[in-house]
Amino acid sequence: MAAAYCETQFHGLNQFGFPFNNFEYKYGSYSSSPMNGAGSVGHRWNSLSPEPHSGTESTASTPFVKSEFPFDDDLFGIDQVNNVNKQHPMDMCHVPVPPLEYNRRFAKDADGTSFVKNEIEENILNFNVNPEIAQDNGLDTQQMDIYRDLILRHLIQDISTTCAKLGLPTDFYLWTPEHGARWINEMCQQFTLQPPRNCFVTGRVLLGMSQKDFEMFLPEGGDTLHAQLQVWKTAFESYHPPATMQSSGMTAADNNMQSKTNWMANTNNQTNTMAAGENPAHQFFNGNGGYPNMSMSGFFQQGTVLPSPSNSDTSSNGSSQDMNDDDMDIHMNTPNCGLSNFFHPGYMNSPLDSMCNGSEGDDDDRAYTRHQGTVHLWQFIRELLDQPKQYSNCVRWVDRDEGTFKIESSLLLARYWGQRKNRSQMNYDKLSRSLRQYYKKGIIQKPEKKQRLVYKFLPPYNM
C-alpha cells in the first residue's frame, strides 16, 4: 500500500515562520508521535493513499510523510470550532489533492459531503499558487516554495513507491496492458472500489481517457481513478515539465533517456484531456500565472537534460574528469536505481547542468532555464546531497534528519559549484564564504560540535 500521508492540524506558524507546528519527513519506518490536541481543530488523513496508517501497518520500505498543516482540513473553509474563515493550503498552492471519492470514503469527520468536487478537481488541475492568499496567511514566497516543494515531494514519493511496488515503468507510455491493469487494480484496492473485469489498457490509452471514459469504464469510482491519474500526472509533470522534454538541446547521452520522457511531451500534444495551455505544470513552469518565484525548484532545477556530470565537460574547466564514471552513472537500466533516479529531482537535471545549457536557447528552454545562474548555493548543495550515488564523494549527509552534512571534498564541491555558476576561479575559500553568509540568514550553521567541513541545514531547509 502506498503510504504517503499527511495528518493535519491547525497550529499556525512555527518558530521558523514556517507554517507547520511540527513537520516530520521520514523515510523507512513509522515512528508514531502522539498528535498534540492543543489548538488543533480537526484531523484528517489527506493523501494519495486513502487509508490512514497506523504505526504497525506501515511497511518498512514505504516512505511516508506525516505533517501538520496550519489549516483545518474541513476543506476550503471554516474552522468549525472557532468559526473562523481559514484558507485551505490547497487553495494557496493548488497542490493536487485526493479525489472527491477518497475524501468521502475516508474523511474522518462526519460530514464529507461538504466537499465540492469541482473545487477539488480544479485544485488538481491548477497547480499554481495564489500569492495574495499566501501572503494573507503570513507566508512569504520562500515559505510557499518550501511548502509546495514538500507537498510535491510527498506526492512523488508516493508515486515512486507505488510504481516500485507494482513493477511499473515510470514512463506511462511504456505501460503495457498488464501494467495498466496493475495500476487500476491497485487504485481500486486503495480506494476500495470494485475493479473492472477487463482493465487491460495501455498507459497511452489510460492517459487519453477522459473522466467520462473512466466512468464508463468503471461506473462506481471511475471519477476517482481519473482524478487519481490526474494527481499522478500533475505531480510528475511538475517535476518534469513537458517543454523541458521537448528541448532540442539534448545531448547524445540524453537519447537513452528520451523514451522515459516522451510521454510527458506527448501528454500535452496527443492524449491529455486538458488543452496544452491548461496544463498545470506548464502554467506552473512557464511563469504565466504560475508561481512567481521558482526558487523552490532549486532542488529540482529546471533545465535541459544532462543526466551526468561526466557529460558536463564542456564547461570552462572540464573538471569532472576525475570523477569515477561508475559513480557518475545514473544506472538507468538498473530497476531500483533507475526508478529512484527517474523520480529523483536530479534525474532530469543534473545539479551541474544549467551551466551547460546556456547556449541552448530555444523557446522551450527559455521557459525553464530562466533561473539559470540564480540557483542558490544551499540549494545546489541540497541537490548534491540528494544524489548520494553520484556526489557522495563530494558532499554527503552526516545526519539526514538533523540536516548535518559533510563536505567530503572541498575541492570537488568548489569545482562543481564553479561549473554550475560558470566561475572558473571558484574555490572553497570563496564557496565557504558564501556558506557563512547563510549563518545570519538562518539557512546553514555550524553544528554544535564543530567539525571541519561539517555544516548543518537549519529547519526548514533540512527537509
| Contacts to DNA by CB under 7 A | 373-379, 410, 417, 421, 423, 425-426, 428-434, 436-439, 441, 446, 450-454
Least gap, CB of 429 to DNA (angstroms): 6
* Nearer to DNA among residue 43 and residue 415 (C-beta): 415
CA 262 to CA 249: how far, in whole Å? 14
Least gap, CB of 233 to DNA (angstroms): 31
Q: How far apart are the first and last CA of the chain?
A: 24
* Nearer to DNA among residue 211 and residue 427 (C-beta): 427
Which residues, 6+ apart, have CB-to-CB distance to 334 below 8 Å? none
Which residues, 6+ apart, have CB-to-CB distance to 391 below 8 Å? 351, 384, 385, 416
Least gap, CB of 434 to DNA (angstroms): 4
3-state secondary structure 336-380: HHHHHHHHCHHHHECCCHHHCCCCCCCHHHHHHCCCCCCCCHHHH
* Nearer to DNA among residue 199 and residue 444 (C-beta): 444
Q: Is 221 left (phi over 0), alpha (psi -120 to 50) or beta?
A: left
Cis peptide before 460 (omega within 30 of 0): yes
Which residues, 6+ apart, have CB-to-CB distance to 79 below 8 Å? 10, 41, 72, 85, 86
Least gap, CB of 371 to DNA (angstroms): 8
Whether the CB-CB separation of 298 and 372 falls below 8 Å is answered with: no
Least gap, CB of 435 to DNA (angstroms): 8
* Nearer to DNA among residue 393 and residue 434 (C-beta): 434
Q: Which three cell numbers stand for residue 170?
A: 515510470
* Nearer to DNA among residue 44 and residue 420 (C-beta): 420
CA 332 to CA 133: how far, in whole Å? 41
Least gap, CB of 378 to DNA (angstroms): 6
* Nearer to DNA among residue 150 and residue 414 (C-beta): 414
* Nearer to DNA among residue 212 and residue 436 (C-beta): 436
Least gap, CB of 345 to DNA (angstroms): 17
Angstrom distances, CA of residue 437 to CA of 294, 367, 443: 21, 30, 9
Comparing CA positions, the residue from 282, 247, 259, 139 lying closest to residue 204 is 259
* Nearer to DNA among residue 187 and residue 426 (C-beta): 426
3-state secondary structure 179-236: HHHHHHHHHHHHCCCCCCCCCCCCHHHHHHCCHHHHHHHCCCCHHHHHHHHHHHHHHH
Q: Which three cell numbers stand for residue 160?
A: 515512486
CA 175 to CA 233: how far, in whole Å? 14
Whether the CB-CB separation of 281 and 242 falls below 8 Å is answered with: yes
Least gap, CB of 298 to DNA (angstroms): 8
* Nearer to DNA among residue 318 and residue 373 (C-beta): 373
Least gap, CB of 107 to DNA (angstroms): 40
* Nearer to DNA among residue 227 and residue 431 (C-beta): 431
Least gap, CB of 369 to DNA (angstroms): 11
Neighbours of 143 (CB within 10 A): 20
